[in-house]
Structure 1
């Protein structure tokens, strides 16, 4: 080595940190190409008795240097934590798997039991994952608690290899009576996409031990998000979920909200820049009503959320006793919406909870086309079979107390409500209530508006319509907050008060439908939370119902009164 290189190496090694079982060469910027270049490092490792943590990040290690370091590690059976991020800058892609495999083999030979492994910021791609595949499967990693692989360029292939290695590691460790209990998983900026995320989701579900999941910027769309949601609900100790900068849309957000409602320990949710949109935001507001008892931080920034939906989220968030941050920057609130949101938070003495709104995108263009969310909703062809009608209307297909003839009449009515049927059939109201389900909110909302079309001035017939409305809404609104909010969200879309996704279209409204809602709002089954949701959107988008004249004003008054009623 040149004298200058030796001097630089000696200077770098003079900054080595010792203590608490840790030997750190972090950030020394050393270029370690061969055995000679790591002689001093190897000597330090050899001499360190009781080595438990080794930091090599911020240097660049070649194959020969890795072999020399590995030789020293073969005797370090107490080693638990390897901080090996940013360790291959300037190296050939083909070198990295060899170096990783060499280091991993040394740990396995030593009988080390790792609890933490950080390989972040090593652009090694799928081949790099192969370099640690055997290590992750081995007993050395059966004790692993934290695994960090941020910014490694794994791609779909690497994600699948990693998932298979974690799965195999879990199965082998379980056979030994001590299953792998990974607590922290971080793999941001890896282009895992749907297939990679779905493969990892299966491993997460199998382990069921995760407390933190960090997978931002991975190009995951709603199918991958739905797979992760299935895994999330099987990890009851989850505290942090960071999926920033992926693409949820309504369907992914609904799936995630459904999964999260089962968890009680979540403290941080980061769905920023995930395109949750307004319908998804409403579902998350419902989640806050029912669950998340100790949530501290919610990030829904840059999600194409409108002002009314943001207000609904904020109203739910301020009721969480431990909530510290609600981030709604970069959405579509507009100047008035931003001001209304700030005022509401200030009025509740929670203004410090709200982050900056400086990057707000302004009000969403009403003429903007909805992006294709690849929704799988399909309209059933009407072929006269009860099964198709049941599917079309979101009805129960199982044992029903209604007689066959009565059920057929109910199904016919639900497909196309007619006044004479409603007024003539003796048990129509109870049978409708038994059949209608909140599990298909779009069909439920459509049915409600169809029944509202039958509103008339005849006192007896009007009473029948309102009693039927009561029967339907009592069933729908008695569901969980998530189900009831989904129904109300669909209703808002059909009423033109909320921009929706998918195939749900605005209905042609008449005053009678709003008068039915006015009646419903005053009933005990219509909670203050539900009224607040409708009132927020009606007050922010009232012009959408201007054709209904005084009926709109009567509904608005009833909602406002309900919102201020103590329940």
Structure 2
């Protein structure tokens, strides 16, 4: 009778404390000298049972794969080190054992010694799987250092020694504290092909070090998954620098990493270089990537001819944009060329479902970031010109008002940095405006009410970026006692192009406009169109109102817009914490009044900020807004679960405990508020197959944590089903007429 090469007790739920308990269950293993693969996951083994099993394992010299995931459930802290030591003492004697899985065992710092000893000695090791072991940064550092020692032993063993190819170490709270050690480990094992380090609490400094000092050596890497860590623009820049050095890369996972709008653009530019011809899968969900980043990816499609799957859900763009259609159509065409049906390729080909986008209506952050990018670009141009500035009364008055308000600083800066050197008749000594100066002044002008929307980490990040990009030059600011009428006049003057300034600017700055027009106004100040956003044709009586001061209420909007005609309602959009998101809607009773309000109020100063007014653009998906959930089509089962109504008090430990008894979990992503860095109260979990997701849904349904009952549902399968339009659905503070 032929013997099988696989022995398994997987998922039997056995509680085996002693040698006597385990003997009947491993009799077949003891008799099989050809076994190559063993699976004990899903049982709980005591010290005596592990010692008995170890004696059997020492005789299995052909063993190649050992799966000991989740074998210490309900064991005492004092038991685990002794039980684990018995097992690894046996495993280290097996010459062909190349794959070891110890996931879902609570090791931590106190029980890591046997693991560290094994990893530093077992030269045949090629595939290491340590997922959800509660290592923390201290034990994580010890594990990484053990891998460095292993690399030295592999080199000493000779050129034919197999290299370490796979490291899966996710959900372990490795954090920044262990990243120097992990960078050393990957630099030592430069033949690694697959790395997965998801959900480890690594922030941008640690990510940058890992990429620039460790993974940049991994020239053979094929799969890199760093999802659910924090990159920001700093980490995104490091990623963009390193990606072109990975010619064999097939899968890149950086979803839920806060790449941001700039990070999306940088990554798109990196892929467009064409240095990743083998890339097949790109995971970029929940990153605040806007349409600029999407366009970058779309533009580089021809440079990644094997790309078959792109995941972009949860970002900040409209699903109907041409760039999105280009990506979707290209991937569908490639799937068809490969002979894969739509059903078979649903999870592995094409663009993912886009049912959780922050649509164009929710765009205040985008407006501010675009505005900042424009000003920084002009600062670059001003630095490059190196022209002597000349003196003029109008410009002096603008400069004197720089310190007054953020809006006036921005307007004055645009005039100074954009005009040609023929401004003024007399030489004036003034240093060039730099990006650092502008950023500092912008920070000074932000009120406490606005600062509460951004975390301290984000503020430090932005300051660091500015210091990295600019020199030390600054522009002096002077106090001014000009009244509000003069301020408004100068702001309006700064908004005009050089050719239009003579008709709109006040007497104090009229000479500036004349000089610029006489010189041809053919330099960097080339804004031949108004700075106001383009206005779409009216579709109804509803106006979108953006860039609002955060203390503006629905009643305030009603008073401001009511002068143009009867209003049905006004609405301010709030986030889940009840804080204004800085935009809202006004609905008039007739289109004529709406058109009049748009014409008069767009780009006007309102409560200290320049207000954006546009017609509200409704999407087709808004048709089902307000339909009760029990009347909607049930969500079809999928491999992804949505877990909502989570308590904000939940810690990483609570989340790990919640999923400890659930099998076949690939990844769990907790949504984070981009302004505060705090959890948003919901998460998504990915499973190996639909059946596993269905079983998990049954286990999680009606679970109550910290007094809140979880809401569990399947992730939507179709991105084209009716959903919401661009505005968030949290309420709102509506004021009916």
TM-score (norm: length of structure 2): 0.49
C-alpha contact (below 8 Å) 1:18/1:24 kept by paired residues: no
Structure 1 alignment gaps of length 5 or more = 1-16, 372-392, 395-411, 421-446, 458-489, 494-498, 520-536, 548-567
2:353 is matched with 356
Q: Which residue of 2 aligns with 1:324?
A: 308
Within 2, Cα distance between the matches of 1:349 and 1:515? 44
Partner residue of 1:81 out of 50, 65, 87: 65
Structure 1 position 350, deviation (Å): 4.8
Task: Choose from 387, 392, 407 the match for 1:417.
Answer: 387
What is the distance in 2 between the residues matched to 1:104 and 1:111? 10
Quickly say closer, same or farther: Cα 1:295–1:346, change in 2 above 3 A.
closer
Match of 2:462 in 1: 502
Residue 11 (structure 1) aligns with: none
Are 2:282 and 2:310, in contact at CA under 8 Å, matched by a contact in 1? yes
Q: How far did residue 518 of structure 1 move?
A: 10
SS in 2 for 1:229: helix
- The counterpart of 1:253, out of the listed 236, 261, 268, is 236
The question of whether the paired residues in 2 share the 8 Å contact of 1:29 and 1:59 is answered with yes
Question: Are 2:309 and 1:289 aligned?
Answer: no
1:366 partnered with 2:327:
no
Instruction: Give the aligned partner of residue 146 of structure 2.
Output: 165
Whole-angstrom distance in 2 between the partners of 1:31 and 1:207: 38
Per the alignment, residue 250 of structure 2 pairs with 267
Deviation, structure 1 residue 65: 0.5
Is 1:183 the counterpart of 2:165? The answer is yes
> How far apart are 1:78 and its partner, in Å?
2.4
Residue 87 to residue 18, structure 1, CA distance change in 2 (3 Å)? farther
> C-alpha separation between the residues in 2 aligned to 1:193 and 1:18?
45
Equivalences for 1:47-58 in 2 at 5 Å? 47-58=31-42
Shift of 1:104: 0.9
Separation (CA, whole Å) in 2 of partners of 1:198 and 1:510 = 52
Aligned equivalents of 1:244 and 1:41: distance in 2?
A: 39
Matched, 1:59 2:43: yes
Q: Could you tell me how far 1:39 is from its partner in structure 2?
A: 1.1
> Does 1:453 pair with 2:419?
yes
- The runs of 5 or more residues in structure 2 that have no matched partner are 334-348, 370-378, 391-412, 424-438, 443-457, 467-490, 499-515, 527-532, 537-545, 548-601, 604-737
The CA distance in 2 between the partners of 1:38 and 1:517, in whole Å, is 80
Counterpart for residue 525 of structure 1: none
Query: 2:388 & 2:351 partners in 1: Cα distance?
Result: 49
Which residue number corresponds to residue 134 of structure 2? Answer: 153
Q: Alpha-carbon deviation of 1:285?
A: 0.6
Contact 2:18–2:48 (Cα < 8 Å) also in 1: yes
Secondary structure of 2:66 counterpart: strand
Residues 338-391 of structure 1: CA distance to partner in whole angstroms, max 9, x if unpaired? 4444444466675873211101123455269999xxxxxxxxxxxxxxxxxxxx
Residue 96 of structure 1 deviates from its aligned partner by 1.4
Residue 90 of structure 1, CA deviation: 1.2
C-alpha contact 2:154 2:163 (8 A) present in aligned 1: no
Q: Once the 2 structures are TM-superposed, how far is the Cα of residue 168 of structure 1 from its aligned partner?
A: 1.0
Residues 285-311 of structure 1 deviation map (CA, whole Å, 9 limit, x = unaligned): 111111211211111110011233323
Q: Secondary structure at the match of 1:280?
A: helix
Contact 2:105–2:133 (CA under 8 A) maintained in structure 1: yes
Contact 1:301 1:330 in 2 (8 A): yes
2:272 touches 2:299 (CA, 8 Å); kept in 1? no
Question: Within the alignment, does 1:196 sit opposite 2:178 as a pair?
Answer: yes
**Distance of 1:76 and 1:259 partners within structure 2:** 42
Aligned to 2:293: 309
- The 3 A distance-change label for structure 1 pair 349 and 331 is closer
Residue 106 to residue 339, structure 1, CA distance change in 2 (3 Å): same
Greater share of strand? 2
- Between the two proteins, the alignment pairs up a number of residues equal to 404
> 1: distance between equivalents of 2:285 and 2:305?
22
Residues 165 and 510 of structure 1: CA distance in aligned 2, closer, same or farther (over 3 Å): farther
What is the distance in 2 between the residues matched to 1:298 and 1:346? 13
The CA RMSD over aligned residues, in Å, is 4.0
Offset of residue 76 of structure 1: 2.2
Question: How far apart in 1 are the matches of 2:327 and 2:524?
Answer: 29
The whole-number CA distance in structure 1 between the counterparts of 2:182 and 2:90 is: 27
2-side partners of 1:448 and 1:342: how far apart? 34
2:294 and 2:324 in contact (8 A); partners too: no
Report what 2:486 is aligned to. Answer: none
How far does the alpha carbon of each residue in 1:243-272 deviate from its partner, in whole angstroms, 9 at most, with x for none? 111110001011011011111010111110
Cα shift readout 1:118-148 (whole Å, capped 9, x = no counterpart): 001112222333222211122xx21111000
Cα distance change, pair 174–509 in 1 and its aligned pair in 2 (3 A) = farther
Output the CA distance in 1 between the equivalents of 2:246 and 2:415.
35
Distance 2:383 2:231 in 1: 36
Q: Secondary structure at the match of 1:326?
A: strand
Higher share of residues assigned helix: 1
Q: 1:241 aligns with which of 196, 215, 224?
A: 224
1:131 and 2:129 are equivalent in the alignment: no
Selected match of 2:28 from 28, 44, 61: 44
Q: CA deviation at 1:51?
A: 2.6
- In 1, Cα distance between equivalents of 2:76 and 2:152: 34
Deviation at 1:317, TM superposition (A): 3.3
